[in-house]
Chain A
Amino acid sequence: MMQPQEQSATSAPLDFFAGIGRRAFNFIGELGAVTIFFLHGLFLIFSLPFQFKKIVQHIYFIGVKSVLIISLIGLFTGMVLGLQGYYSLVKFGSEGLLGAAVALSLIRELGPVLAALMIIGRAGSSIAAEIGIMRISEQIDALDTMDINPVRYLISPRIAASIIVFPLLTAFFDVIGIVGGYLTGVVMLQINSGIFMNSIYSSVEWADVSEGFIKSFVFAAIVSTICCYEGYFTHMRPGGFGARGVSLATTSAVVISCVLVLIADYVLTSFLM
């Protein structure tokens, strides 16, 4: 993180523009640092000996432990989509398309995004906090002095696990969500179950599914990198030392990942449409 440089005051408007420029430079510098951090971590996933056991541990922590929350959120999202969709479609007498509406919005959009947001809240924050605490208690320096590459040891397995887990959790979210839509649409609102399922079969194409998956891969990279980065550089944060530094790092890990996920979602959608 670059420190903003104090400039001698010349004149107010010049200062204003200088401030914008400085922030822009900082932002771009930070962006570059995050990218390099990600590529470094990604590259070291494939270094030997392969850290299979550690990746599995993180898959368990990020993935398996998130299944319950993902199913709950997925179920209720699907159910509310069913209700809202029915309410809008029935006005045009086309409630038969409810299955398609629920499935498409889940697979293309809500599945990857909501799953990512839930994982940020559950696993991302704890990744940032754990790595942040390791940083402030010199455990990362200790790894370095033992000639254990801290990026390889701490970051790579988390990135690898995220890339494996995000698409799986997204798929899981989609399926549970469609079940939720089925519950409200068919069981509660009495749409014919055959019509509901058929509209899903006829409207969902492979391109929709792959779009959802591409998104979940990108979100995995964003979330794991940002959360690890914020924790890893806790000590560089201006004004944040010790426990306060870790709390700030965790907060900004969550906030930045959420915002970036939504921005990336828009960008990806507009490219993949």
Chain B
Amino acid sequence: MTDNTAKKPFIEFRNVTKRFGDRTILDNVNVSIYRGEITAIIGKSGVGKSVFLKHIIGLMKPDSGEILFEGRPLAGMKRNEWTAFKRSVSYMFQQNALFDSLNVFENIALPLRERTSMKDREIREKVQQKLEQFEIEEVLDKYPSQISGGMQKRVALARALVTDPEIILFDEPTTGLDPLRKNAVLAMIAHHQREIGFTAVMVSHDIPDVFFISNRVAIIENKKVPFQGTPVELEQSDNEVVRQFLLGQESLKDELTGLLTKHELERLLNSELARMGQYQNRLTLILFTINDLKQVREKIGYILEQRLVQCLGMMLKKHFGMIGTSARYDTCSIVTVLPHTDKERAVKHLERLKKEMQEMALLKADKYPKSCVDISVMAGIASTDRPVTIESLVREAKNEQQLMARLSCSGNGVKE
């Protein structure tokens, strides 16, 4: 955030290095965390996000470098300063770490009982208030193993908040929850953060959901922190590592369709185009588009939409697997790149493909007895013998597009 340059960091990692044996987990990491903000720490699993978080509360100590709290190093704190700092921090564990031999009420009351001199009645009131806030009153005499995962998260959150901490560290608060509950937990954190104004540091891999509630994002990748800044800055960043990271998050969808990602396609095409300059080959690109995919989703649902793309992808792989590569270009288009192939041969391939595509089961009306959908698959060819940009090739192919197969709403218009 630009105005952060003026602000002093609340917690600061300065050249922190951590090793386990001869494995380096964090290497000269610098991160600033600001007061009253939600800072998200993202990264693939196993890159040391939890290790990062555990350093803040002293569960782990850095091998070199220091961690500063309001400008003072944690390692040099006097005993009473350290105690005061620790009391202002709460930690929510990935697996909740609820005390399984204490019931929900005792779990939430424990930090108050053990380290304050509050009367039993006051504790009861305070816990009751938290129970109501998180809507877990009905389970207060149950044990953690008797309640659902989502409930356990809420109990853990209530326990973290009951001491009115200034800083809360969340270690993957949404892992293992279904999407609905995930958002509920994130919303809950955001809501309480706004209300109470604590500083939150959240380790997560829930991208992009976590961006909506955080003020700052830091990426841990390959022992370093290649990026930190606001979520908007992150999205607009042209840092190669950051883009790779964000793309990596989306790749799962394309793994399902068995296609390359757009990023991988770009890399492949660029190297092919570069080689073309040397060897004077031809390169042909076919652009397949499923028209009105959005409408398909609305009428027949997300799963069938995905299935449709998947089917098309598999068909292309079968046909062009030996001579070319297919990749997802955007939500509704797939690009097939055929190096060493000229336009005429590509047209012949397409003719054969057309017949098969018209027999595609997903384009039969009896597949959708309840709704009336219009699906059409278009294909266009563009060919080049000199290096051009991918965009211009795709544009050319788009202009050439013709109908391959179609399912029209009347139900019998399969054949063109």
Contact = CB atoms under 8 A, between A and B. Distances in A.
Contacts of B322: none
Interface in A121-146: 130, 133-134, 137-139, 141-142, 144-146
A109 to B, nearest CB: 37
Interface string B127-149: 00000000000000000000000
Interface of B: 57, 59, 83, 86-87, 89-91, 93, 95, 97-101, 110-111, 114-115, 163
A147 B115 CA distance: 8
Contacts of A141: 59, 93, 97
Nearest to B102: A139
A236 interface: no
A43 to B, nearest CB: 16
A133 B98 CA distance: 12
B95 A145 contact: no
24 contacts: A130-B101, A137-B95, A137-B97, A138-B95, A138-B97, A141-B59, A142-B93, A142-B97, A142-B98, A142-B99, A144-B59, A145-B57, A145-B59, A145-B86, A145-B89, A146-B110, A146-B111, A146-B115, A146-B163, A147-B86, A148-B110, A148-B111, A148-B115, A153-B114
A147 B87 contact: yes
Nearest to A136: B95
Most interface-central of A130, A139, A141 (chain B CB within 10 A): A139
Contact of B90 (A138, A145, A148, A153): A145
B171 to A, nearest CB: 9
B100 A137 contact: yes
Contacts of B114: 146, 148, 153
Interface residues of A, number: 14
Nearest to B114: A148
A147 B83 contact: yes
Interface string A19-49: 0000000000000000000000000000000
Contacts of A147: 83, 86-87, 115
Nearest to B111: A146
Interface of A: 130, 133-134, 137-139, 141-142, 144-148, 153
* 4 closest A-B pairs by CB: A145-B91, A142-B97, A138-B97, A148-B114
A134 B91 CA distance: 16
Nearest to A142: B97
Contacts of A139: 97-100
Nearest to A133: B100
Nearest to A147: B86
Nearest to A141: B59
A145 B163 CA distance: 12
A235 B281 CA distance: 61
Contacts of B100: 133, 137, 139
Nearest to A146: B111
A218 to B, nearest CB: 30
B106 to A, nearest CB: 13
Nearest to B54: A141
Contacts of B99: 134, 139, 142
A130 B100 CA distance: 10
A127 B280 CA distance: 77
B80 to A, nearest CB: 12
A52 to B, nearest CB: 13
A142 B152 CA distance: 15
Most interface-central of A133, A141, A153 (chain B CB within 10 A): A141
Contacts of B89: 145
A242 to B, nearest CB: 12
Contacts of B115: 146-148
Given A137-B97, A141-B97, A146-B90, 14 more contacts: A138-B97, A139-B97, A139-B99, A139-B100, A142-B98, A145-B57, A145-B59, A145-B91, A146-B110, A146-B111, A146-B115, A147-B86, A147-B115, A148-B111
Contacts of A145: 57, 59, 86, 89-91
B109 to A, nearest CB: 12
Contacts of B86: 145, 147
A133 B95 CA distance: 13
Nearest to A130: B101
A176 to B, nearest CB: 32
A57 B59 CA distance: 29
A249 to B, nearest CB: 17
A146 B98 CA distance: 12
A153 B101 CA distance: 14
